[in-house]
Amino acid sequence: MINDFLNGEFWLSYGEPGAWMVGGILAMMLAVIGAVAYLTYAERKVLAAMQRRQGPMTVGPFGLLQPIADGMKLLSKETIIPSQANKPVFILAPILLFTLALVAWSVIPVSGKLVIANINVGILFLFAISSMGVYGIIMAGWASNSRYAFLGAMRSASQMVSYEVSMGLVIVTILLCAGTLNLTGIVEASRPWWMQVLLFPMLIVFLISILAETNRAPFDLPEGESELSGGFMVEYSAMAFALFFLGEYANMILMSAITTVLFLGGWLPPFGIENEYLDKVPGVIWFILKVCVVLFYFIWARATFPRYRYDQLMRLGWKVFLPFSLIWVVVVAGVLIKMNALPQ
């Protein structure tokens, strides 16, 4: 039964589709929440190793219970709402942000058959859900009735919108090569070596853009402590703050999964290698390993690069990535026509 689950056959072979759909949704939610909790542990451990520190080490063996202790601490704290805040919007904002990060997982194919909703426009659904995250941030900044929070929210909104433009053009190049909007079809589409080389510059653009999309260092300007005192979430406390925190890390995992699906072959063995031993490894394992590699890149970037100035961030998005992405879409289309490789 475990092998059936890892290979994606479990969903098709056991029980009623409706019941297993509900079970699959719950399992996916729990898996993502658990991954978010231990991503914080992994980040603290990796950053500590890079800075020659110990990291979490006292709560449980090797500090493995630290995320649980942090969650219990935040649950036990009092939620304080500013007296002049718009309370319904103030409470709804972190819930919306975290919910959107979970909803997007409904179309992510973890293996060939292990996907909750295998819709034909999965990539458009993902792009729409990731764009709606701006609403949660704007709502949080406006509802707090704080100038610092609202300035942080405006920064975040402009940053996310700016880099979504280049991300959209990156996705266009993927669609030109794959010929489908279905995420499973994108993974299974044939990509010869020259096509992988052609898409490599767009992979670099996408990897940098997802840092800005998730407000991660070195693009964590909405949370600039030196000038904004914490950004759009400065007035939040206890579990409301925790939901913003969980939403950020859930978005990191989501963007890593999207990168894996679009560029790294999803659940397939790496580099297209065909080997009798590699083929026996369940696709879910390959998918998780590739997601972990991209997550390590998030953490490595935070430990390595200093924070950008806001004008540098905007210049990179609008004056470098946007024109380059536009030109590269034309280049990819031209090469595909020349090689007679446009999908039918």
Residue 310 lies in a domain: yes
Which DSSP state fits 53? -
Residue 15 lies in a domain: no
Cβ-Cβ contacts under 8 Å for 282 (sequence gap 6 or more): 3, 6, 7, 111
Q: Are 92 and 103 in contact (CB under 8 A)?
A: no
Over its C-alpha atoms, the chain yields an Rg (Å, rounded) of 21
* Token code pair at residue 222: 């909405």
Question: Structural domain of residue 125, as residue ranges?
Answer: 78-338
Residue 229 lies in a domain: yes
User: Residues 253-259: what's their mean pLDDT?
Assistant: 94
How many other CB atoms are there within 10 angstroms of residue 200's CB atom? 10
* Percent of the chain's residues with pLDDT above 70: 90
Which DSSP state fits 272? G
- Which residue has 């999908």 as its token pair? 343
Measure the CA–CA gap between 313 and 238, rounded to whole angstroms.
Answer: 31
Where do the H-state alpha helices sit in 84-146?
87-103, 122-143
Residue 26 lies in a domain: no
Residue 179 lies in a domain: yes
- Summary mean pLDDT of the chain: 86
Categorize the per-residue pLDDT at 307 as very low, low, confident or very high, splitting at 50, 70 and 90. confident
- Give the pLDDT confidence score for residue 13 in this predicted structure: 39
Cβ-Cβ contacts under 8 Å for 41 (sequence gap 6 or more): 56, 63, 64, 66, 67
Categorize the per-residue pLDDT at 9 as very low, low, confident or very high, splitting at 50, 70 and 90. very low
Query: How many domains does the chain contain in total?
Result: 1
Residue 343 lies in a domain: no
Categorize the per-residue pLDDT at 225 as very low, low, confident or very high, splitting at 50, 70 and 90. low
Measure the CA–CA gap between 244 and 214, rounded to whole angstroms.
Answer: 12
Residue 22 lies in a domain: no
Amino acid letter, 81: I
* Half-sphere exposure at residue 202, Cβ-oriented, CA atoms within 13 angstroms: 30
Where do the H-state alpha helices sit in 179-264?
183-188, 193-213, 225-228, 238-263
Cβ-Cβ contacts under 8 Å for 342 (sequence gap 6 or more): 176, 179, 336
Structure confidence by residue, pLDDT tens digits, 102-161: 898 989 998 877 888 888 888 999 988 888 888 888 999 899 888 888 888 888 888 888
Residue 331 lies in a domain: yes
The H or E element containing residue 25 is helix 17-50
- Give the pLDDT confidence score for residue 199 in this predicted structure: 94
